[in-house]
């Protein structure tokens, strides 16, 4: 009202009339019916997942209907996550920074802002409002807040009904966690988001390199989302071979007890980088990224070493981890160059598993498992027939030194001299009788040339002597072994005969005898191909101390054996030092 005091000074003022006490109001957020079990989800294409509806209502502290009208409701998602991609590995190396949860309103008269993180809706009648929370990531999180703006100018902030919490944590979770309580309950998980402590009894190292939160967020495999049992160790294989590799991968999974994912597509795990949890930002993550390995066939043995299969390591002198393993290469199952297409001394029923066993063996290298020992070697062995001009024993024998022709004993496991095989002597004598005339004709020509030129370099007394020695040198090569593999005690063939980390390639093994060097030959069908994994370094079967005439290859090396204990797929655990 206008008024004046003196002169030309004029004052204006307004008087507001209010009730003696204002009505006490509360804005309650109802806990959704599915709140206890709801978790965010989406698709690899980032389609909206199953929404969760949340309702807030203004109520009077007296229990009656509020006297003051609501002008609008203001909703806000606070602290919403922006994890790259939609899962740990999809899309590969995701860069986008979109919110993982968004608001979606039903009804009319609303406006959305801040990338659908805020919503304001004018209220025509009533005291409640409902919004939908839409997920776009399997690991998203946020906190939903709401404010009622009243017609009298007051603002009332929403609390969870019956509790003192301002806002609603989405999904339902502990204040220090980003994992849905419902998932933890359903999976039997406990502990903090950063935990990585899966345990397999008998394996020395715990964990698989993935935190509990990452197990929850999950991966995309074969175009579908997967989340894992948080109590199991996960391992990823990019199978570039196809169906032919599956039995070997399954064998690896069975003996290692790892949860193996081998249906990955090239857009789900990169052959080059092999990251399996590369999409991370704020969600709990180990200090090192976790990797998988690939398996693929090569066309040439020259790419893979002597045996036709190789685990290519990126770091020398240490045991394998997925992160330091480039991949597993192998020749195709039917490649005649491959060691695994040859029977060696395996029984027929074992030989059919050679390719599958090789894949499992190499994959075990990628998770830290080493051979049973070292020291096996290859050598040429020559057969010196009894009539050879340089034979001074008067009987056939073998030698490893073709120059000196120093004899070695080669026995079968019954103690019989392999060089005294009468069948071999009959064959050699027949060969001599058939070809001696040809060798003699060539020797006479060469002998005449040597004499005519005055350049006689040999010590042969006659063409006949030259022919005899050349013929028997040919027989020495023909009836010997080119590249014979000799197994040694505590070498690659040692230990549990059924362990698939044990080699089975030896043709002979060294005898524990005094005097001249002795080798025992390995009879056809008496080696075994391992399809299990050992739990100790003790020699079994052919390597047992009671095997006759002796243990073939003995116990494993002191720092080997118990292959199951060595298994560790966790890149965050430093690998042990090993012999190169």
Mean pLDDT of 312-329: 94
Band the pLDDT of 273: cuts 50, 70, 90: very high
Tell me the per-residue pLDDT of 195-247, one tens digit each, with 9 for 90 and over. Answer: 999 999 999 999 999 999 999 999 999 999 998 788 899 999 999 999 999 99
Q: Are 247 and 110 found together in one domain? A: no
Average pLDDT, the chain: 91
User: Between the CA atoms of 173, 174, 179 and 181, what dihedral angle is there, to the nearest 10 degrees?
Assistant: -50
Q: What is the phi/psi pair of residue 429, to 5°? A: -65, -40
Rounded to 5 degrees, φ, ψ at 63 are 95, -10
In a shared domain, residues 292 and 218: yes
pLDDT tens digits along 175-197: 999 999 999 999 999 899 999 99
| pLDDT number for residue 228 | 74
What is the distance between the alpha carbons of residues 231 and 555, in angstroms, rounded to a whole number?
A: 34
Closest by CA to 237, choosing from 277, 201, 264, is 264
Its pTM surpasses 0.85: yes
> d(Cα 559, Cα 550) in Å, to the nearest integer?
23
- Residues 6+ positions from 378 with CB-CB distance below 8 Å: 483, 484, 485, 486
- Domain ends where: 341, 365, 389? 365
Identify the top-confidence range among 92-101, 118-127, 361-370, 389-398: 361-370
- Residue 397 burial (C-beta neighbours within 10 Å; 0-12, 13-18, 19+): buried
At 10 the pLDDT is: 59
Whether the predicted pLDDT of 174 surpasses 70: yes
Q: Which residues contact 399 (CB under 8 A, 6 or more apart)?
A: 381, 382, 384, 405, 406, 407, 408
Residue 416 has what pLDDT?
94
Q: Which of 101-115, 485-499, 509-523 has the highest mean pLDDT?
A: 485-499
Residue 361 contacts by C-beta under 8 Å, 6 or more apart in sequence? 309, 500, 501
Q: Give the count of domains, the chain.
A: 3
488 in any annotated domain: no
Whether 171 and 200 share a structural domain: no
Task: Please choose, from the candidates 538, 546, 550, the residue with its C-alpha nearest in 3D space to the C-alpha of residue 509.
Answer: 550
Where in the sequence is the domain holding 44, given as residue range(s)? 25-182
- What mean pLDDT comes out for the span 336-345? 90
Please compute the mean of the pLDDT values over residues 488-503 and round it to a whole number: 97
The closest of 151, 103, 111, 143 to 127, measured between CA atoms, is 151
pLDDT band at 159 (very low <50, low <70, confident <90, very high): very high
Taking only the tens place, the pLDDT of each residue in 405-432 is: 999 999 999 999 999 887 888 888 888 8
Which residue would you say has higher pLDDT here, 388 or 568? 568
pLDDT class of 488 with cuts at 50, 70, 90: very high
The least confident of 12-16, 89-93, 160-164, 197-201 is 12-16
Q: What is the DSSP letter of 291?
A: B
Q: What is the pLDDT of residue 483?
A: 92
Q: Is residue 579 part of a domain?
A: no
> For position 535, what pLDDT does the model report?
97
Lookup: tokens for 183: 């998932």
Classify 487 as helix, strand or coil.
Answer: strand
**How does residue 475 score in pLDDT terms, banded at 50, 70 and 90?**
confident
**Does residue 313 sit in the same domain as residue 230?**
yes
> Which H or E run contains 55?
strand 52-60
**Tokens 């981890």 -> residue:** 321
Q: Give me 299's structure tokens.
A: 């066309």
Query: Quick check: is 571 in a domain?
Result: no
Residue 39: per-residue pLDDT: 97
Do 251 and 231 belong together in one domain? yes
- How much is the pLDDT for 458? 56
The interaxial angle of helices 422-453 and 463-478, nearest 10 deg, is 140
Tell me the CA end-to-end span of the chain in Å, nearest whole number.
99
Q: What is the mean pLDDT of residues 238-262?
A: 98
- Residue 373, domain member (yes or no): no
Are 3 and 11 in contact, with CB atoms under 8 Å apart?
A: yes
Give the integer Cα–Cα distance in Å for 525 and 294: 33
Distance, in Å, from the CA atom of 281 to the CA atom of 265, rounded to the nearest integer, reads 24
The reply to whether 228 and 131 lie within a common domain is: no
Is the pLDDT higher at 389 or at 496? Answer: 496
List pLDDT tens digits, range 345-399.
999 999 999 999 999 999 999 999 999 999 999 999 999 988 888 888 989 999 9
pLDDT band for position 401 (50/70/90)? very high
**For residue 67, is pLDDT > 80?**
yes
> Is the preceding omega at residue 325 within 30 degrees of 0, hence cis?
no
Q: Residue 561 domain-assigned? A: no
Residues 386 and 360 in one domain: no
Question: Both 53 and 157 in a single domain?
Answer: yes
Task: Output the pLDDT for position 46.
Answer: 95
311 & 425 share domain: no
Identify the domain boundary among 451, 482, 513: 482
In this structure, are 142 and 89 located in the same domain?
Answer: yes
349 plus 401 within the same structural domain: no
Q: What is the CATH number of the domain that holds 75?
A: 2.60.40.4060
For the segment 44-63, what is each residue's pLDDT rounded down to a tens digit?
999 999 999 999 999 998 87
What per-residue confidence (pLDDT) applies to 106?
A: 67
Share of the chain above pLDDT 90, in %: 73
Same domain, 226 and 297: yes
Pairing of strands 397-399, 377-384: antiparallel
- In three state form, how does the secondary structure of 403-460 look? CCCCEEEEECCCCCEHHHCHHHHHHHHHHHHHHHHHHHHHHHHHHHHHHHHCCCCCCC
Assess if residue 237 is contained within a domain: yes
How far apart CA 505 and CA 142 sit, in angstroms, is 60
Q: Which of 355, 316, 389, 377 is closest to 577 using CA atoms?
A: 316
Which of 315, 341, 365 finishes a domain?
365
Could you tell me which of 373, 290, 352 has the C-alpha nearest to residue 569? 290
Phi, psi torsion values for 150, nearest 5 degrees: -90, 160
Residue 538 located in a structural domain: no
pLDDT for residue 266: 96
Band (5; pLDDT cuts 50, 70, 90): very low
pLDDT in tens, 274-289: 999 999 999 999 999 9
Residue 464 lies in a domain: yes
């Amino acid at each position: 009202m206008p008024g004046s005091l003196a002169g030309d000074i004029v004052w204006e003022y307004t008087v507001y009339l209010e009730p003696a006490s204002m009505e006490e109001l509360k804005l309650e957020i109802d806990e959704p019916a599915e709140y206890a079990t709801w978790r965010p989800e989406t698709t690899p294409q980032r389609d909206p997942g199953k929404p969760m509806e949340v309702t807030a209502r203004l109520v009077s502290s007296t229990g009656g209907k509020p006297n003051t009208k609501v002008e609008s409701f203001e909703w806000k998602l606070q602290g919403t996550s922006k994890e790259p991609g939609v899962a740990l590995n999809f899309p590969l190396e995701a860069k986008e920074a979109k919110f993982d949860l968004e608001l979606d309103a039903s009804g009319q008269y609303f406006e959305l802002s801040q990338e659908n993180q805020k919503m304001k809706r004018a209220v025509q009648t009533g005291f409640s409002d409902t919004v939908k929370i839409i997920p776009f990531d399997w690991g998203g999180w946020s906190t939903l807040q709401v404010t009622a703006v009243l017609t009298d100018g007051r603002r009332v902030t929403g609390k969870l009904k019956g509790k003192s919490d301002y806002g609603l944590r989405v999904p339902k979770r502990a204040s220090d966690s980003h994992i849905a309580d419902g998932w933890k309950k359903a999976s039997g998980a406990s502990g903090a988001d950063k935990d990585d402590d899966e345990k397999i009894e008998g394996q020395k190292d715990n964990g698989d390199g993935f935190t509990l939160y990452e197990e929850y967020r999950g991966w995309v495999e074969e175009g579908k989302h997967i989340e894992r049992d948080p109590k199991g160790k996960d391992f990823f294989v990019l199978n570039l071979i196809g169906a032919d590799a599956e039995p070997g991968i399954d064998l690896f999974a069975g003996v290692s007890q790892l949860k193996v994912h081998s249906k990955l597509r090239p857009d789900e795990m990169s052959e080059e980088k092999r990251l399996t949890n590369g999409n991370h930002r704020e969600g709990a993550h180990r200090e090192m990224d976790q990797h998988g390995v690939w398996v693929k066939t090569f066309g040439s043995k020259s790419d893979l070493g002597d045996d036709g299969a190789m685990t290519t390591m990126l770091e020398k002198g240490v045991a394998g981890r997925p992160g330091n393993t480039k991949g597993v290469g192998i020749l195709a199952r039917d490649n005649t160059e491959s060691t695994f297409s040859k029977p060696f001394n395996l029984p027929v029923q074992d030989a059919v598993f050679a390719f599958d066993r090789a894949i499992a063996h190499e994959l075990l290298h990628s998770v830290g498992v080493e051979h049973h020992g070292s020291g096996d070697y290859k050598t040429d062995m020559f057969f010196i027939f009894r009539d050879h001009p340089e034979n001074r024993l008067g009987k056939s024998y073998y030698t490893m030194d073709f120059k000196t022709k120093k004899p070695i004993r080669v026995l079968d496991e019954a103690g019989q001299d392999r060089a005294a095989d009468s069948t071999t002597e009959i064959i050699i004598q027949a060969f001599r009788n058939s070809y001696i005339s040809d060798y003699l004709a060539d020797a006479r020509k060469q002998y005449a040339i040597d004499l005519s030129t005055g350049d006689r370099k040999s010590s042969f007394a006659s063409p006949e002597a030259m022919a005899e020695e050349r013929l028997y040198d040919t027989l020495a090569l023909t009836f010997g072994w080119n590249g014979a593999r000799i197994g040694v005690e505590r070498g690659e063939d040692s230990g549990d005969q059924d362990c698939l980390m044990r080699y089975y390639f030896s043709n002979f093994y060294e005898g524990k005898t005094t005097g001249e060097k002795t080798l025992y030959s390995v009879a056809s069908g008496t080696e075994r191909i391992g399809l299990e994994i050992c739990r100790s370094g003790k020699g079994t079967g052919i390597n047992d101390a009671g095997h006759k005439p002796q243990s073939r290859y003995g116990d494993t090396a002191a720092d080997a054996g118990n292959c199951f204990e060595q298994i560790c797929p966790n890149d965050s655990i430093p690998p042990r030092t090993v012999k190169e």
